[in-house]
Amino acid sequence: MSDANLQRQITTYWDARGKSYDTSVGHSLRDEAEREIWLQLLREQLPLPPAHVLDVGTGTGFLAVLLSEVGHRVVGVDLSDGMLALAKEKCAGLALPPKLLVGDAHAPPGEPGSFDVVISRHLLWTLSDPLRALRNWLRLLRPGGLLIVIDGLWWAGGVNPADTDAMKPWHELWKMHYSAEVQVALPLMHAQTLEPIEALTHEAGLVDVTVVRLAALEQLERSRGSSSCEPQPRFLLCGRRSDAGDAS
């Protein structure tokens, strides 16, 4: 499968999935307790507002909205028109709405060295060339700028998260667009540990890399009995572009 066809399969799925995306556990804020967990997490990692932030693979605008609400200047990028349309609805009425653009997460638009922070959420696992993406994200950062990746080991321990959606309307779409051929082309989709992810960040040129386990979110999901399965490991990886401005 060509790179173009692979990306078309993935984008088509998320276009169709957009309207139901926020109904799934962990995709949107269900109450104030969950909102506070996310706000505290972001406060601990990001510089004080107003920072210039690029939200790569913004989807329905989860991070873009939260970061804009606390005063950051946010640009959100996604290839899915369907997801971006929903993000725009969420941004209506915000005092400082994010700028939302159509763009490929592998090579998002922007001038080199123009952002204080590049951030992504639930994206890295579905990239066909995560190393190229990380290098391009790093290139967009100012020297000393932060790169933050929030994701999960969704298939850890042999769990197939798609099984929990087996009775949902979008499950057939998943099987069609995330076929075995597509899945094998995504290097981090089935990662069982953080080692291959950390290795790629170092290869991309990220320095001072740290990883935080998102235990509070896992515990919240566990306490609500949202699933019959144990919550999959979730993490936040943070590093920075070197002060010398070196970006491979």
Q: What is the domain-level CATH number for residue 232?
A: 3.40.50.150
Q: Is residue 245 one of the residues assigned to a domain?
A: no
Give the pLDDT of residue 246. Answer: 55
Q: Is residue 64 one of the residues assigned to a domain?
A: yes
Q: Is residue 219 one of the residues assigned to a domain?
A: yes
Angle between helices 32-45 and 215-224 (to 10 degrees): 170
Q: Is residue 248 one of the residues assigned to a domain?
A: no
Neighbours of 73 (CB within 10 A): 16
Beta strands in 3-64 (DSSP E): 52-56
Distances 127 to 57, 120, 166 between C-alpha atoms, Å: 10, 12, 23
> What is the total count of domains within the chain?
1
Q: Is residue 25 one of the residues assigned to a domain?
A: yes
Q: Is residue 246 one of the residues assigned to a domain?
A: no
Q: Is residue 48 one of the residues assigned to a domain?
A: yes
Q: Could you tell me the residue range of the domain that residue 198 belongs to?
A: 3-240
Residue 6 to residue 222: CA distance in whole angstroms: 34
pTM: 0.93
- The pLDDT tens digits along the chain (248 residues) read 898 999 999 999 999 988 888 777 667 787 888 899 999 999 999 999 999 999 999 999 999 999 999 999 999 999 999 999 999 999 998 999 999 999 999 999 999 999 999 999 999 999 999 999 999 999 999 999 999 999 999 999 888 888 877 778 888 999 999 999 999 999 999 999 999 999 999 999 999 999 999 999 888 888 876 555 677 899 999 999 998 755 54
Percent composition of the chain: helix, strand, coil (DSSP 3-state, to 5): 45, 20, 40
